Structure 1
Amino acid sequence: MSKISNLLEIIIMLQYKGLTTASELSEILEVDKKTIYRYIRNLNEASVPIYTKKGRNGGFYIDQNFYIKPSNLSENELEALLMAEEILTSKNGFVYEKDLKNAIFKVKSVNVNKNEDLSKINDNKNFSINYVGNMENLEDKISKINYSMSRGRSLSINYFSVNKNNLTMRKIDPYDLIFKEGDWYIIGYCHMKGDIRSFKLNRVKNLKISKDIYMRPHTFSLKEYLDKNWGIFMGDKIKVVIKFSEKEAAFIKDTTWHIHQHIDQLEGGKILFTIYLNELEDIKKWVLSFGKDAEIIEPIELRKDIKRELEELYKIY
């Protein structure tokens, strides 16, 4: 990412998480500690009040009076944005269609209203908006997560699963909360899966702090986890093109799977989803979870691999 993006992510992390170490920022932003300290100096020079707490439990923190908060858009303002997304397209000669869609996605991600179901603004209209995570606002979610981590309390969450395309109840032990490439993620142990997983915060419908106590393993390394498990939708070698049916198109378009993803609209409401990956095993499982509503177009090797697996399933059934 660019330096400006990294600086903004540092501000957001400190604003919501409070005390954060140089090591944690280094792991999340994928830069060395010297660069983190240089970023902090740059922010101080720009009059951003970031301070350092010394000692074993030290780190960086930001003055509580310094606050960047996204404005809550009105219903009419949101409708105007959604209409613009539908009207301003490359087919109509608008060359910044992709940038507009990315901007609107970010607006939709941060403009949460605690007492309002924003999906209702689209009733009887031809455009849609996905507010699966708006039962609680962002600040309340992050506050509960920070509290649970500080007290070693497990969380119960209603989570919108990408693979199953439905809500599931999960019990998780949160190890870390990170802001990466424009989204918040909880990293923690999932009791349902029996493994450490990442949970995208805007897919959490609501969460509750339980009375169950947990201890973060001393062997857990955020850097190792990110290096090993952050591969899906984050690679840059193999071009993968997937055709999604009209049924799943809105769901795919309403989520940013990768910062450099590309979506082409097809006739009949279908879409072509293009992304670049390091390896194909995870994407294979993800595509299969959509059944007949997702078709691999490229690469041909992955298409053949899925065909072989379906033939084996056919033999079983």
Structure 2
Amino acid sequence: MADNRLFQMLFLLLEKGGTTAPELAERFEVSVRTIYRDIDILSSVGIPVYTVQGKGGGIFIRENFVLNKSLLSEEEQKQILLSLQGLSVLDDENTNALMSKLGIIFQKQNMNWIEMDFSEWGRKNEDVFHKLQGAIFKSKIIDFTYHSGKGQSENRSAEPLKLVYKSRNWYLYAFCQTRQDYRMFKLNRIKNLQITEQDFVRAAPDNVLGNTSRYTEETVTLSLLFQKEMAYRVYDEFDDVTEKDDGNYLAKISLPDNESLYRFLLSFGDGVEIVAPPQVRETIIMKINAMKNKYIT
């Protein structure tokens, strides 16, 4: 843990040029005395870190300092740059600048291993993403209006902890102060987002999706029979697929049991039949009849 903190401190100084001991102590959740001890360790291995007392003072690194590559193995250098490049796809200017600097230091080229296109969101949702990213990094409480899958709209206050990508959708994992519990919010349902000046200290868990005790949602397991003409969507949307002798497809999947489930099923039109469970089949029949009644004159 101490070694990891030392490297993070060093990269922070390379990026910003200078900071203060209280800022570092707050960031790493240690005492100011521990920070000064870390500075002594960095200095002892030849890294030109120095402190300046008084107004405008702080902890600095000598300008144009070049990191001794022997501090990190070849594999560690690559891993650092690969991780930073994974962040840079989110268009974070500071991350891109730091990655370029470290790339020069480590003399590594051709680290472009990932490319992502967020254009399908539209500019509005992209703006929400970057606002949430800033709120998470700065540990700021957010206020917003959320439109749930149950058709309800509510004002929420939350501590944003992590952005999560699952099943072709982005979510915000947060501690909801309104509900006093952990919640997963779908990004495209977050409206009127405001970042407050209130700080929070709650830490994000390491593995949100694998920790079911923090976040659970009731699911239903579906068996769906698709016409063969729907193959392009079947293989896009499902993992458990069996091709039948007649060319049609039987797909199985577990999905959250909410209103979004029925919108998803209806999006296949007459290309799907719900085989099981019976309660979902009955609900779909009711919805189809309700839709039909709207067009009866």
Same fold judged by TM-score > 0.5? Answer: no
Q: Bigger radius of gyration, 1 or 2?
A: 2
Larger RCO, structure (CA 8 Å, separation 6 or more): 1
Q: TM-score normalized by structure 1?
A: 0.38
Q: TM-score normalized by structure 2?
A: 0.40
